[in-house]
Amino acid sequence: MNEDISTRKFWRNQARLSAIVVFASVSLSLLLVWLSLGDLPPHGRVVALWLGFAIPAVVSPGAMVYVTFQNLRNHRLHQRVHRLANSDDLTGLANRRCFTRRGTLRLAEAAHTQPTDQQTALLLADIDWFKRVNDTYGHEAGDDVLSQVAQALIHAAPADALIARLGGEEFTVMCDVSGPDELNRLAERLRQAVEATHIVYRGDVIQVTISVGLAIARRCDTLSTFLSRADKALYDAKDRGRNRFALAA
């Protein structure tokens, strides 16, 4: 979505720049011709003015087309670099670096603009027994599992959620909820979505589950303390048998 907005902004800026350059080129050309008309007869003045208009009116749009496509190539290169720097190659989710930046910003904005009936929640999910998948089927199968789990989280999470892969088999979802009850329902929806996902790899069906640690932001929270409380809740969920969620105190 951000890339779509950036691309629309790019084309608006290019159209504005092209219009300014063409208008300025034609206007300057006509002014210079007018100042140099001197003692030309009326017919010569008409021809000179026409050439003064026609030449820049043809040349400057052609030049701007070339400039625009050069700028477009640079714009796409910038988007690619930005995407590589901020997204996880395997799943397409935000990576840890992107999550740290956007999560910190989201927490800060919530303190000033969030409605009183909403709270910022964090769900920290870890795939249960993921090492067994790699040991049994190989790392390629493990990559398929990670990709499918990411898709399950995307479809089950709220549309405005910040979803990231922090590394390994650990994912996080940051979103707004009305309170612990809604957060519990969301965690159960994510858990069920992953549990219902069947990954077929070379004829074998792989099914995995997740354990989820939940936390609701406090006023004094930084992203680090927020994550730490969710992480403790995640360990609690794993200690209680996995394939479940636990809410931080």
pLDDT reported for residue 185:
98
What is the pLDDT at residue 79?
A: 67
pLDDT band at 40 (very low <50, low <70, confident <90, very high): confident
Mean pLDDT of the chain: 91
Annotated active-site residue 169? The verdict is yes
Strand-pairing partners, residue 44, are none
Q: Which of 109, 140, 169, 170 is catalytic?
A: 169
pTM for this entry: 0.73
Question: Is the confidence at residue 131, as pLDDT, over 80?
Answer: yes
Q: How far is the C-alpha of 187 from the C-alpha of 197, rounded, in Å?
A: 16
Phi-psi region of 174 (alpha: psi -120 to 50; beta: other; left: phi over 0): beta
Q: State yes or no: pLDDT of 117 exceeds 90.
A: no
34-43, 44-53, 112-121, range with the lowest pLDDT = 34-43
| Average pLDDT estimate for 218-230 | 95
Query: Cα–Cα distance between 136 and 65 in angstroms, integer?
Result: 56
